[in-house]
Structure 1
């Protein structure tokens, strides 16, 4: 049954996602607001497929802030990249440079409004990232960042990657740690499963902390929350 549900989910979601992405440039002609609405529609379609085709239910503990924030989330699967955009109402997303180079997808991502992280660490790349971060903060949009950079299995705690402190300083917003256990249903390695996943929004970390402090606190708190879920 699980194999059949997985096949159905992948066929319907990924199959219909192709025309959704290809239509995106047309939607963009109607303005950025319409385009972001199209992106949210895509995330809602993903949520529907996950719930009714794959049998994945979402439980939320805590709540996002009523005002913009920098959401520092655990990264375990493809699932949360869609679900957090849906929950937070089209926030800015921090994206690795290689994803922004994908034809059509990369253009659509930039049109939506993303912050590109270039792991090369060049001065020009860093300045561009800071400009995009400041623009997001000035626009009053929340920002999603996966500070550990890569997907991890349950219980793993990769180190914080370069960029967190700079974005935190540039946007000037409180950082909200987000724990999740999506690897239970969509692991980095292995088949998808039906079940319940939890998104837990932690207490906000105030803006203005020093680099070492915010990096250590974000890393500790997203992993402490994640570890608590395994108890």
Structure 2
């Protein structure tokens, strides 16, 4: 039954995504606020499919505060990229440039507000990310970053990428860390029975040394991995 639901989820979600992308060209004529509402409708559609069709509950411990923050999120599956937008206050998302260059979808992402990063571009990519982050801060939008740099498998806790510390220092914003365990149920095409948990950690102040901020964020976003290690 879960295999059938997974296949139906893929058809409905990606089919629905095509609808939202195509209709966004018309929505864009109504202005930026309408486009952002349209994106949030897409995230709510995804949430409904996960919780109702797949029957995978999504549980939140704590709330993402409204306002301008640097939000650091663990990344294991597609689910958190949409769920954090759904629960957040229209945050700007740091993501790999390949996604923002996707025909159609990339245009929607850029109109909503993303910070594309080319991992191969080195210092140039970092300068572009910092400039885009400052632009988001100037209009009081939070910035979401996946500080480990890519999706991780369940149990993996790689070190944070250097871009996180650079963005933290340049923006001078407190950090809201979010732990996620979506990989157990949602990684891959075939979903598995289970649940998705989000845990919003204690806000970490701006202005800390690099080693301290990286250690605190790494521990906070890997809360579920560390708990599993302790149980083992």
**TM band (smaller chain):** over 0.9
Normalising by structure 2, we get a TM-score of 0.92
Shift of 1:40: 0.4
Does 2:196 correspond to 1:203? no
1:103 lines up with 2:113 in the alignment: no
Cα deviation for residue 49 of structure 1 reads 0.7
Residue 62 of structure 2: aligned partner: 62
| Match in the other structure for 2:174 | 174
Aligned-residue offset at 1:166: 1.7
Deviations 1:150-194 (A, max 9, x none): 211221111211310121123321111111110121125x72023
Question: Which consecutive residues of structure 1, in runs of 5 or more, have no partner in the other structure?
Answer: none
SS state of the match for residue 195, structure 2?
A: strand
Alignment match, 2:155: 155
Give me the whole-angstrom Cα distance separating, in 1, the residues matched to 2:187 and 2:128.
33
- Does residue 138 (structure 1) correspond to residue 138 (structure 2)? The answer is yes
Secondary structure in structure 1 of the residue aligned to 2:156? coil
Query: Equivalent residue for 2:222?
Result: 223
RMSD value over aligned CA atoms? 1.7
**Structure 2 portions without partners, runs of 5+:** none
Name the SS for the 2:179 alignment partner.
strand
Inter-partner Cα distance in structure 1 for 2:29 and 2:106: 17
The answer to whether residue 33 in structure 2 is matched with residue 33 in structure 1 is yes
Q: Is the 8 A contact 2:181 2:224 kept in 1?
A: no
Instruction: Quote how far apart the aligned CAs of 1:229 are.
Output: 5.9
Question: Alpha carbons of 1:63 and 1:186: their partners in 2 closer, same or farther (altered >3 Å)?
Answer: same
Q: TM-score, normalised by structure 1?
A: 0.92
Paired residue total: 230
Distance in 1 separating the partners of 2:156 and 2:222? 8
Partner of 1:81: 81
Describe the superposition over 1:83-131 as per-residue Cα deviations: whole angstroms up to 9, x where unpaired. Answer: 1110103210001112122112222211111112221344433322111
2:179, 2:123 → 1: CA distance? 32
Give a deviation string over 1:42-100, Cα, whole Å, max 9, x none.
00000011111111111111222243211111111011111111010321000111212
SS of residue matched to 1:163:
helix
Which residue of structure 2 lines up, in the alignment, with residue 192 of structure 1?
191
- Is the 2:177–2:200 contact (alpha carbons within 8 Å) kept by the matching residues of 1? yes
State whether residues 137 and 172 of structure 1, in contact with CA within 8 Å, keep that contact through their aligned partners in structure 2.
no
| Native 8 Å contact 1:57 1:196 kept in 2 | yes
Contact kept? 1:180, 1:226, Cα under 8 Å:
no
Aligned-partner Cα distance in 1 for 2:56–2:223: 24
